[in-house]
Chain A
Amino acid sequence: MSAARAGAGGATPPPHAPEFEVVPREGGIVAVCFVAMASPCELLLETADTHTAHEMGRVAAQEAWRIESKYSRYRPESIVSVINRSQGHAVVVDGETAALLDYAAQCHLLSDGRFDITSGVLRRCWRFDGSDRLPEPAAVAALLPLIGFEKVQWRASRITVPAGMEIDFGGIGKEYAVDRVLCLIAARFAGAALVNFGGDLAANRAPGTGPWQVGVERPGTEREARLLLELSRGGLATSGDTHRFLLRDGVRYGHILDVRTGWPVPQVPRSVTVAATSCVEAGMCATFAMLQGIGAEAFLEEQGFRYWCLR
């Protein structure tokens, strides 16, 4: 039996160190730990061979850093930064970016426009630091014309983002990296493996000793409950509202924003955990649920997802 501790929500990101650490765990599992995408990351492998663990760890860490460097909006050389600087001119993108843009477009449609990778501009007036400083309604309204994935032209490997608008893969990147790393590991490693990037997980199969034991921490919830799950195969992701919020006059404003109004979605659950075939699917599903606000549980129930929801 192995215990995988997964934290929901963001801890203060430690500085990025291009190294990883191999830590043996109990039950014939070795963990490779590193930092990527501002999260503690670990790769759990069913092996006794630390040399193999080093090799796999290198593959995992390099893929995570590659994706981070390619899609982080904080890196000037990333394709996202290039697109956001393009001032309304077309940018030709490669196959991987094209696949991510197609996915973002599909999710925009599936969510009736609620999921929108152009919504990042709202960061300019919303700062979820636990204080009571709400932005001016006029400031929020001024940003609305700069939001809307339907305003982005995406066809034939060319994306044109109008001047003043931005895109970012923040809602897809980490889960995508988890699935990509698992894919690369599974192609090279015969045993069971689990990839965990700060609470977004995927596993290819259960170790010989039984399913992976996953503890989903949900700090700050009323019951401080730690959800214990068993995972054999597939993805698991958690969307949470515990750390990033504003509180004013007893009303809690969570950080999940409604792109149609620019204001937080009211009555968002404290935490939604979803299990699905892949981490990307689980993460997007959890995001869709959060965007439903008060209707999150009903949404998850009706669509037939495996979920755990806490208010």
Chain B
Amino acid sequence: MRIQSIARLAILLGLILGACGCTSLGVKPWQREILARPEMALNAAPIDAAIDDHIYFSKEAASGGRSFAGGGCGCN
């Protein structure tokens, strides 16, 4: 069924990334100076992201991804 394929893809990618986590991927605590820059945060501009999510939620069928896929507005 079409729905199951996405779950399978998720598990596969998750296992790959998980396996990577156990090997030499990553940095030592004193090597985090680049990652510590504010623009390197995964959600560096949260209000921009919230505004975009709201716009795309009201104009498109898919939503969410970064966090929950909820709506909270009557625009869809």
Contacts and interface: CB of A to CB of B under 8 A. Distances in A.
B48 interface: no
Contacts of B33: 82
A140 interface: no
Contacts of A82: 33
A77 interface: yes
Contacts of B30: 77
B2 interface: no
Contacts of A107: none
4 contacts: A77-B30, A82-B33, A92-B37, A92-B38
- Chain B contact-residue range equals under 10
B5 to A, nearest CB: 44
Interface in A47-92: 77, 82, 92
Nearest to A82: B33
A274 to B, nearest CB: 37
Contacts of B37: 92
Nearest to B37: A92
A82 B37 CA distance: 14
Interface string B27-68: 000100100011000000000000000000000000000000
Contacts of A77: 30
Interface string B8-31: 000000000000000000000010
A82 B33 CA distance: 10
A92 B30 CA distance: 16
Interface in A86-144: 92
Among B30, B33, B37, B38: residue with most chain A CB under 10 A: B33
Interface in A214-270: none
A29 B76 CA distance: 78
Contacts of A92: 37-38
Nearest to A92: B37
A125 B25 CA distance: 44
A147 to B, nearest CB: 27
B69 to A, nearest CB: 34
Nearest to B31: A77
Give 4 closest A-B pairs by Cβ, nearest first. A92-B37, A77-B30, A82-B33, A92-B38
A95 to B, nearest CB: 14
B36 to A, nearest CB: 9
A103 to B, nearest CB: 23
A82 B36 CA distance: 14
A129 B21 CA distance: 54
B55 to A, nearest CB: 30
Nearest to B39: A92
A77 B38 CA distance: 20
